[in-house]
Amino acid sequence: MTTLFDELTWRQLVQDYTPDLPQHMAERQPLTVYAGFDPTAPSLHVGNLLPLLTLVRFQRAGHRPVALAGGGTGLIGDPSGKAAERPLLDTDTLAANVQAIERLLSRFLDFSGANAACLVNNLEWLGHLPLLTFLRETGKHFSINMMLGKESVRRRLETGISYTEFSYMLLQARDYLELYDRYDCTLQIGGSDQWGNITAGIELIRRLRGSSVHGLTIPLITKADGTKFGKTEQGAVWLTDDRTSPYEFYQFWFNTEDASVINYLKAFTFLSAGEIADLEASVATEPEKRGAQRSLAAAVTEFVHGPTGLRTALAATNILFGGAPITDIDADTLLAVFHDAPSTEVPAALFADDGAVPSDLAIAARLVGSKSEARRLIEGGGLYFNNQRVESVHSRITRERLIGGQYGVLRKGARTYHLLRVVNTP
């Protein structure tokens, strides 16, 4: 792989692109490239990772990235990839989402040095653009026939599309023009559903400035069975730990099926071709060790949540699957690990004086039906508190051993977990 375009192609990050893009990337050093992120929620999800990672790849190759938070276009809503109209967000919610996304984007891009990244909000220019000026300077260059032919619009014709969302393409074209004028931006990247919007901007710049600029789209990532990527039973997988904990995030990647893991390693990590080849060989020879999945989960979790987040995820994984003592994790991580486990509220009074009697806790959690059954379980070495064996029926569990002063985990045998929530009762 001798060029960045070659690497993007090998990593399967190239779907549609303007014909002269490889030459432009090779000759324009550095070039300015942008991707947009609409603030439909106060976080981004794993579906946004590919354009974000691609911006990072461009920056590491010496180019200048521009990350655009769509404070203006977010007021309209992008019809691309959607079967129905998006609900319109109120301005306060949208402003809060934009701020949250700007903070998130700032974690991944380098805003110092010769090719420092730039973070912009398109509300800055779209929010003050007079309607008549917009229609004269932008709308007059697009025919209805051309707009109807774009994929994002054509798919919605049967179910219906409002004039509001129909206009989105023109607003995104205006964004590209604005960034071309301000930053000499000559490349826009986005998901495969953005090709129509990207080419609209390319055409507007050609007409108004007489210049040739470029576009690149990234293929839609799907699971091996063709189902949608980035969803779990709990919903979308987010990039902020208040919505998806580092443990849940790590598990999402660790649970990747063998048929997809090598493609995900190429697309979502910075591992080299040689490293990925070694992991691909391990999938064929030692699939039960899940070495490729471990490398994928570790690399993406560290990129998104940092070394501390990765350590938290690995500690939580070792607790649930390795039987490690439950000590150095916080309450939020504990709740994420055991969100599917049955739980019981127990009164804080049980932990008074010398601490709680383990058999009382086991009975409260319905792990046993009587004190005699609890005694036999403990004497047989089968009862654990926070993954540490209860050594004697005379043991006591003090409140200091609770996580966050409130939570503890009882385990019966190898795999039967029960979460205790200690509550103060009148």
Looking at 9-18, 27-36, 86-95, which range is the least confident one? 86-95
Lowest mean pLDDT among 2-6, 86-90, 236-240: 86-90
**Lowest-pLDDT range of 23-27, 125-129, 151-155, 376-380:** 151-155
Query: How confident is residue 81, by pLDDT bands cut at 50, 70 and 90?
Result: low
Strand partners of residue 279? none
Query: Does pLDDT of 156 surpass 80?
Result: no
CB atoms within 10 A of CB 145: 7
DSSP class of 404: T
Give the separation between CA 371 and CA 112, rounded to whole angstroms: 65
Helix (H) or strand (E) holding 399: none
Give the E-state strand segments of 46-150 in sequence order.
64-69, 118-121
C-alpha 54/C-alpha 34 separation (Å) is 10
What is the rounded average pLDDT for all residues in the chain?
90
Cβ atoms 74, 37 nearer than 8 A: no
Strand positions, DSSP E, 169-294: 185-191, 214-218, 231-232, 235-236
Find the mean pLDDT for residues 129-136: 91
Tens of pLDDT, residue by residue over 237-266, are 999 998 998 999 999 999 999 999 999 999
In angstroms, rounded to a whole number, what is the distance separating the alpha carbons of residues 207 and 138?
10
DSSP 174: H
Q: How many degrees, rounded to 5, is the angle at CA 339 between CA 101 and CA 349?
A: 115
Give the pLDDT band (50/70/90) at residue 289: very high
Omega cis (within 30) before 30: yes
Is 80 exceeded by the pLDDT of residue 311? yes
For residues 404-420, give the mean pLDDT: 92
Indicate whether 83 pLDDT > 60: no
Question: What pLDDT band is residue 359 in, cutting at 50, 70 and 90?
Answer: very high
Tokens 């960034």 belong to residue: 179
User: How high is the pLDDT of residue 85?
Assistant: 65
The string of pLDDT tens digits covering residues 167-176 is: 888 999 999 9
pLDDT for res 277: 97
What pTM was estimated for this model as a whole? Answer: 0.84
Closest by CA position to 267, among listed 47, 68, 63, 44: 47
Residue 368: predicted pLDDT: 93
Highest mean pLDDT pick, 31-35, 76-80, 98-102, 410-414: 31-35
Residue among 184, 160, 133, 9 nearest 79 (CA): 160
